[in-house]
């Protein structure tokens, strides 16, 4: 498993304190898998163009220091959702498909805390905190889940399949239901984003928490046709 780096964008709207007389802030948490500090234009990247992310940073708060508790997928995600050092809650690796362990249902996640405050909660993307029924997102405070249960490279098309690994098919899930087997992942980034937007539109009259952990740009890399071979001026027209 490659080292795991995080880019997090947390957008707060409205007041930043919980008060019966003040509308609670909506929260959107965008997590991009394996994206490093130097992969964004706002932080100096010259070979990758990220105009929309750069705009978010320039119009909001831009941070220059961030620490992940572990350089692997499951452990980092456990820390993000629970606020705990991942080793303390027994997660220090990246779970493989069919793992018998996952995020302990006894742990409290940010989704559960916000749900107690009246928030609608949704996750759209990669979970990777256990794929057994007792560990799925809706067991940890999320109202809705649309995405994949572990890393996008854990599938039969892995270059070491049959030698080092023997991964099963990877499936796209809606809540606890597998929809279909993923043969191509080019559509996934847009599909996850569209689901997140739909969730926001449906819950705009109440506070909401959107967790959008995109599988990309973790390898294998995929881009939808409209985004292939584009330049910055093409992005600005989208």
Q: State the catalytic residues.
A: 73, 128
Tell me the two tokens of residue 67.
């620490």
Which residues, at least 6 apart from 2, have a Cβ–Cβ distance to it below 8 Å? Answer: 34, 218, 219
CA dist., res. 127 & res. 146, Å (int):
9
CA dist., res. 108 & res. 207, Å (int):
19
Tell me the two tokens of residue 233.
């001026």
What are the strands of the beta sheet with 120-126, ordered from one edge?
8-13, 26-32, 208-214, 120-126, 144-148, 171-174, 177-181
Residue 107 contacts residue 67 (beta carbons within 8 Å): no
């Amino acid at each position: 498993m490659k080292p795991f780096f995080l880019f997090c964008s947390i957008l707060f709207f409205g007041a930043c304190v919980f008060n019966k007389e003040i509308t609670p802030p909506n929260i959107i948490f965008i997590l991009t898998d394996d994206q490093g500090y130097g992969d964004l234009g706002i932080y100096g990247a010259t070979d990758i163009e990220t105009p929309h992310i750069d705009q978010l940073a320039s119009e909001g708060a831009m941070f220059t220091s961030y620490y992940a508790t572990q350089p692997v997928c499951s452990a980092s995600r456990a820390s993000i959702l629970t606020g705990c050092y991942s080793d303390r809650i027994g997660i220090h690796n990246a779970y493989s498909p069919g793992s018998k362990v996952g995020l302990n249902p006894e742990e409290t996640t940010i989704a559960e805390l916000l749900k107690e405050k009246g928030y609608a909660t949704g996750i759209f993307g990669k979970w990777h905190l256990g794929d057994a029924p007792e560990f799925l997102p809706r067991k940890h405070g999320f109202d809705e889940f649309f995405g994949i249960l572990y890393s996008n490279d854990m599938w039969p098309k892995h270059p070491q399949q049959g030698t080092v690994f023997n991964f099963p098919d990877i499936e796209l899930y809606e809540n606890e239901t597998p929809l279909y087997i993923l043969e191509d992942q080019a559509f996934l980034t847009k599909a996850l984003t569209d689901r997140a937007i739909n969730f926001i539109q449906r819950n705009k009259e109440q506070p909401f928490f959107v967790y959008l952990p995109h599988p990309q740009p973790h390898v294998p890399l995929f881009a939808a046709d409209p985004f292939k071979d584009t330049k910055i001026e093409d992005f600005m027209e989208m």
